[in-house]
Amino acid sequence: MSVESSVEKKRNVMEEVRVEKVVVHISVGGDWERLQKAVKLLEILTGRKPVVRRAKKTIKAFGISRKQPISTMVTLRGEEAEEFLRRALEAVDNKVKASSFDGMGNVAFGIKEHLMLPGVKYDPEIGVFGMDVIVHLVKPGYRVKLRRYRRSRLGKRNIVTREEAIEFMRSRFGVEVVE
C-alpha cells in the first residue's frame, strides 16, 4: 500500500466553480411605453434598479435608430443571483440546452413569459414579457484578468470549461442538460 493511495487527494479550492453574476435582460425594441413597463417589471422581479440600454447602430428594417433606448437589464451578484437563478431554472423545468453553454463559463437561456417564474402573477398594467438570463461562472483568481493594477492573463486551469460549467449546473442546481 503506497502513501498516495491511503491519503485522499485534497480538493484544490482555487478550482471550485462559482456563480459570478446573473444578468437578466429584456429587449423590447423602439417602443418607449413598453420599455418603461419592462423596467418596472425587472424592478419588481429582482428588487434592483434596471439600466436602460441603447442601440449601437441603426437598423431601418426594425425601425431602430442609433442611440435609441431599446432594452433594459439588471445584474445580480451573490445570494440574490443564485436565488433568482433557481427561480429562472424552475421556469424552464430545470432543462437547459447543451448549446447554451460556451467555452468560457457562460450559460444563457430564455424564458418565454415572465409569468412562468414561480410566485409571479399577471398584472394587466405591465403585460407579458420574455427575458434572457445569462449566467457567468468563474473560479477564484478570475479577478487578475479584470483588475486595473498588475492585470495578467489567466492560465488554462483558471478558465471554466464547458464540461465544468455543465457539471456545476447539474450538481449545484439540478439542471438537466438537453441535447
For residue 2, tell me if it sits in a domain.
Answer: no
pLDDT value of residue 155: 86
For residue 48, tell me if it sits in a domain.
Answer: yes
Those residues whose C-beta lies under 8 Å from the C-beta of residue 162, and which sit 6 or more positions away, are 101, 102, 103
Measured in residues, the chain has a length of 179
pLDDT value of residue 167: 94
> Considering its fold, how many domains does the chain have in total?
1
What CATH number is given to the structural domain containing 19? 3.30.1440.10
Which mean pLDDT values do the consecutive 10-residue runs of the chain (179 residues) have? 60 88 93 93 94 93 90 96 95 94 93 92 92 95 89 88 94 92
For residue 44, tell me if it sits in a domain.
Answer: yes
For residue 7, tell me if it sits in a domain.
Answer: no
pLDDT tens digits for range 67-93: 999 999 999 999 999 999 999 999 999
pLDDT value of residue 3: 54
For residue 1, tell me if it sits in a domain.
Answer: no
For residue 3, tell me if it sits in a domain.
Answer: no
- 3-state SS assignment for residue 119: coil
pLDDT value of residue 2: 53
What CA dihedral angle connects 113, 117, 123 and 128, to 10 degrees? -10
Those residues whose C-beta lies under 8 Å from the C-beta of residue 101, and which sit 6 or more positions away, are 107, 162, 165, 166, 177
β 176-178/51-54 pair status? unpaired
For residue 24, tell me if it sits in a domain.
Answer: yes
pLDDT value of residue 77: 95
Q: What residue numbers bound the domain in which 101 lies?
A: 13-178
The whole-angstrom separation of Cα 129 and Cα 19 is 25
pLDDT tens digits for range 36-56: 999 999 999 999 999 999 999
pLDDT value of residue 179: 84
